[in-house]
Structure formats: structure tokens, C-alpha cells
Structure 1
Amino acid sequence: MKIIQTVTVKQILTEKSREKLSAKYNQQKQQLQKECDQLLFEMKKLERTRKFSAVGLKAQFDKEIDLRKEKIKLIDFQIEQLGMLPYGSELKDQDVQALVEIEIGDNWEEIMKGKTVIIKDGIISEIRER
């Protein structure tokens, strides 16, 4: 019988992976800033049509813009933390699903501990039992 199990994927921080992560964070930050600018533009456009309540409209747009600004602050914090981490640090990258073969007589506790996949510069360097 097969079951689905969650496997944690961790990335070892190297110069190459730091650059990739930094670029990814900066791209996300730019995207969020574009969304803020687009929301401001849309708000001003809708204010000119006067079909909607100006107060309610502004409150809704401000809420969306503030949400994105909070995400930008979080990304700034992540960029700062990334700069402080020493090379060789393990960063959780993602969780993936894996099929695991189980049979009668298997130790359930051992199976449920799961596995962790360690990646270094895009190459699997280790598979650990948790």
C-alpha cells in the first residue's frame, strides 16, 4: 500500500543561492510596489467617475495598499536576515508530497517521522530521516 507523506525541502545557503534568493525577494518587492502604484491609479480613476462613495472607496483601496506595504516590510526584513546568515545555513524552502510504500510489519512511528531533502545549489546533497 502507498500513502502520501509531506517531505520538507531545505536549501543550504551558498553564495549562488544567496544571490538567487536576494533576486527573488527584490522581484517580489518590485511587483508589490507596482501593485500599490496600480491601486492608487485605479482609485484616482474611480474617484473621478463619482459613481462610488469616496470615503468607502478610499478605505477599501487604502486597506489593499497597506496590505501590500506590510508584505514589502516583511520582504525587507527577509533580505536583511539573508545578509546576516552565514554560508552553510539551512533554509526551509518548501514542503512537497511524496508517495511512501508501507507494508505489514513496518514501524509506523519511523514512517511518520518523514524525510527532509537537503539541496545545495540546485543539487540534492542529502536525504535525512527526521
Structure 2
Amino acid sequence: MKIIQKIPIKQVLTESSKTKIENQFHKHKVQLEQECQQLQFEQRKLQHKSGVSKEDVTKRFHAEISKRKDKIKWIDFQIEQLDILPLGSEITEDEVEALVEVNEGLNWDELMKERAIIVKDGTVIRIK
């Protein structure tokens, strides 16, 4: 029998990977800020339309803008944490699923032991 097991992909923090991750955070943050601006523009546009409840429009757009602002705060926190981490630290970057063969007589604890793929500057350096 085969089962699906989730395996984390961990990135070893180097100068280049740290810069790459930080750039991804900033890129995502800029995208969220642009979405907020676009939503505010759409909100103003809809509020001037007749037959539309201004309160409903305000509530709906405020909720969407708040979600994005919360994500921006989370990204800012992640950037701060990234700056604190020393080089050589392992951070979980992603997760993949793997098929694992299960047979009678296998040690279940050994089978379910945490596994990980360790990547350094785009190269797999270790599989645990």
C-alpha cells in the first residue's frame, strides 16, 4: 500500500538566499499595496454610482482592504524575523507530497519520522 506524506523543503539561509527571499517579500508587499489602491479607487467609483448602497460598498471594500493590510503587516513581521536570523539557519520554505510504500512488518515510528529536503542556493544538499 502507498500513502501520501508531506515533506517540508527547508532553505539554508545564505546571503543570496536571504536577498532572494527578502525581494520576494517586498514584491508581494508592493502587489498588496497596489491592490489596496485599486480597491480604494473601485470603492470611490461605486459610491458615486446611483442605486448602490454606499454603506454596503464601504463595508465590503473595507473588509477586503483590511485583509490585504493584515497581510502587509505579516510580511513586515517576516522581513524583521529574516533580518534577525543568522546565516546558516534552516527555514521552511515549501512543502511537497511524497508517495511512501507501507508494508506489513515495517516500523511505523520510523516510517512517520520527520523527513525534510534541505536546499542551499537552489541545490539539494541533504535529504533526511
> Shorter-normalised TM-score: what interval?
over 0.9
Counterpart CA distance in 1 for 2:44 and 2:117 is 49
SS at 2:96 equivalent: strand
AA paired with 2:70? E
Tell me which residue corresponds to 2:104.
104
Return the offset for 1:51. 2.1
What percent of counterpart residues are identical?
48
2:121 corresponds to: 121
> TM-score, normalising length from structure 1?
0.93
Distance 1:3 1:64 in 2: 39
> 2:28 is matched with which residue?
28
Quote the residue 2:57 is aligned against.
57
Amino acid at match of 1:5: Q
Counterpart contact for 1:6–1:114, Cα < 8 Å: no
Read off the aligned partner of 2:22 and give its amino acid letter. S
TM-score by length of 2: 0.94
Q: Post-superposition shift, 1:119?
A: 0.7
Aligned length: 128
1:6-45 to 2 correspondences below 5 Å: 6-45=6-45
The secondary structure found in structure 1 opposite 2:112 is helix
Q: Structure 1, unaligned stretches of length 5 or more?
A: none
Q: Distance in 2 between matches of 1:63 and 1:50?
A: 22
The Cα of 1:103 is off from its aligned counterpart by 2.4
Which SS does the other structure have where 2:48 is aligned?
A: helix
Contact 1:9 1:94 in 2 (8 A): yes
Matched residue of 1:49: which SS?
coil
Partner of 1:68: 68
TM-superposed deviation, 1:122: 0.9
Residues 32 and 72, structure 1, Cα contact 8 Å, conserved in 2? yes
Amino acid at match of 2:16: K
1:23-81 Cα deviation digits (max 9, x unpaired):
10001001100110110111111111122111121111111111111111111111111
2:26 aligned with 1:3, yes or no? no
Distance in 1 between residues matched to 2:102 and 2:30, nearest whole Å: 46
Q: Say if 1:43 and 1:61, in contact at 8 Å, map to a contact too.
A: yes
Please give the root-mean-square deviation of Cα atoms over the aligned residues, in Å: 1.1
